[in-house]
A and B are shown apart, each in its own frame.
Chain A
Amino acid sequence: MNALKRFNGSGWLSFGLLLLLWEFGSRAAPKLQLYLPPPSQVLAALGRSAVSGPMVAHLSVTVGRFLDGYFLSAMIGVTLGIVLGYFRFLHNLFETLIEFLRPMPSVAIIPVAILMLGIGDSMIVAVTVYATVWPILINTIDGVRHIDDVLIQTGRTFRLPQWKILWRVILPAASPYIVTGLRIGLSIALILVTTAEMVAGSKGLGFFILDEERSMNSGNMYAGIFLVAVLGYTLNRLFLLVEAKAMKWRHGMMARQTA
């Protein structure tokens, strides 16, 4: 909440100074410019590319895949997490599998996904979902486990059917943990989309960045990187904005407890 309202002046200043340093450093050493063009040139490349079109198309492809993957992961992760967190025998049944798959670097399944789904949107979304589900799943399970039994018994004494207890008591009570999982998932989803696009794509910012690098067009390459960074930043901000609204009750509670 505070992080949203507060304008961090010194933070932006140091960020600006770093860019300036880069700008002059790069201009002072023309030989380096192939590898490290000055930010002004990157911005110019970004402008050119935005006007002439391809970058915007790549951006929208990446955003589309990200949204598909992220929302699918959220749905799967939260639903599965609530069920596994609530029904202990189910969790026991799948615990070993989860603990075996979860620590594996998710990019390792990209070849498997290519093998099964070919090169295309569905492969990239599938890989993204695979990686993003884990933090959401684990945090949701954790959240459900931390719910006090009194709360569940309260739902039962009011004769809520099982599914309503899950939906109206367990889900909101676990929401602080779920939100943490969703926030971690946000950056993971973006990492996986770009990585998968680099490995096997003909569209998207990941593909664009790698393609420009191979054409020795470093201005465009950095423009692509810059765009991915802005995308990540924007998504994170949007997330915080929604979270501040949805979890208003929680923020006040925490502020009270730490006061």
Chain B
Amino acid sequence: MSILEVQGLSKNYRQTSGESTAAIGNITCQVEAGEFVSFVGPSGCGKTTLLMSIAGLLTPSAGRVIVHNKEVSGPPPNLVLLFQEYNKSLFAWRSVLGNVRFGLEARGNRSANAAKKAQMLIELVGLGGFENHYPWELSGGMQQRVAIARALAYEPELLLMDEPFGSLDALTRLELEDSLLALWSELKTTIVFITHDIEEAIYLSSRIWVLSRRPSEIIDEIRISFPRPRNQVSTRAEARFMEIRNDIYRKIRN
């Protein structure tokens, strides 16, 4: 059953000069429940616009987005968008626990077990012991973990991630990729991931859509069948991994 359908989506922006520029050309795709899919494309290709439209935070110029058989006309239920800028997206006035509890509160869960559940999620993303810290007391990677825990607290069936690890250092990034895969296989959440890092997309996903430059369109769909759990050393060392990487790179360049 497809959890998400994008049909002929396009988005134009009106510039201050009055001209309209197309960010997204014409995108059609389907995501099945439980999948981990990625969009890869050059920076500035309208990836964020695409994700914002799916999240119901932007109104597309044409086409439509269907989540759970319902056309999106505002943020749909059971879906959360996770932003790249964790430092802007986290609530600076709430502790780690408070931020995670926000996800539960937004669901209407203010019961006694909410605290327990938040605690469990904090442990799950590896932040046990930091419950009472404020976001600014944590490193970038830890902050993004808080944002992930907050999103998961909302129990979304569909989690959209907009270059979530884009501003982290390389090592932290690998660590978070593995954490995310572990969470995904445990919680069975469908994940739509956006990145400009080709290798990250290959490592994480079951399916990749390659996007062209602006106005972006899907130029290729690639199934990734490396066995799971994947391994930062051995998976990336496979010859097929490099082949796919080079293939995608060439397609984006042309």
Q: Please report A residues at the B interface, Cβ cutoff 8 Å.
A: 148, 150-151, 153-154, 156-160, 169, 172-173, 175, 249-250, 252-253, 256
Contacts and interface: CB of A to CB of B under 8 A. Distances in A.
Given A157-B55, A253-B136, 8 more contacts: A148-B85, A150-B85, A150-B89, A154-B89, A158-B154, A160-B106, A172-B91, A250-B92
**A160, A169, A249, A252 interface centre (most CB from chain B within 10 Å):** A249
B13 to A, nearest CB: 15
A160 B80 CA distance: 12
A151 B93 CA distance: 12
B80 A153 contact: no
A153 B83 contact: yes
A249 B93 contact: yes
B106 A150 contact: no
Contact of A249 (B52, B80, B92): B92
Contacts of A169: 91
Given A249-B134, A253-B136, A158 B93 contact: no
23 contacts: A150-B83, A150-B85, A150-B89, A151-B89, A153-B81, A154-B83, A156-B57, A157-B55, A157-B81, A158-B75, A158-B80, A158-B103, A158-B154, A159-B75, A169-B91, A172-B91, A175-B93, A249-B93, A249-B94, A249-B134, A252-B134, A252-B137, A256-B137
A151 B88 CA distance: 6
B75 A156 contact: yes
A74 to B, nearest CB: 19
Interface of B: 52, 55, 57, 75, 77, 79-81, 83, 85, 88-89, 91-94, 102-103, 106, 134, 136-137, 154
A171 to B, nearest CB: 10
Contact of A158 (B52, B94, B106, B134): B106
Nearest to A172: B93
Nearest to A150: B88
Contacts of B57: 153, 156-157
**A154, A156, A159, A252 interface centre (most CB from chain B within 10 Å):** A154
**A157, A158, A173 interface centre (most CB from chain B within 10 Å):** A157
B102 to A, nearest CB: 7
Contacts of A250: 92-93
Contact of A157 (B80, B92, B136): B80
A94 B52 CA distance: 32
Contacts of B52: 153
A169 B75 CA distance: 17
Contacts of A148: 85, 88
Nearest to A157: B81
Contacts of B79: 157
B161 to A, nearest CB: 12
A156 B75 CA distance: 7
A154 B85 CA distance: 11
A190 to B, nearest CB: 29
A151 B85 CA distance: 10
Nearest to A256: B136
Given A150-B85, A150-B89, A158 B136 contact: no
Contacts of A157: 55, 57, 75, 79-81
A173 B102 CA distance: 15
B254 to A, nearest CB: 33
Contacts of A159: 75, 77, 106
Nearest to A148: B88
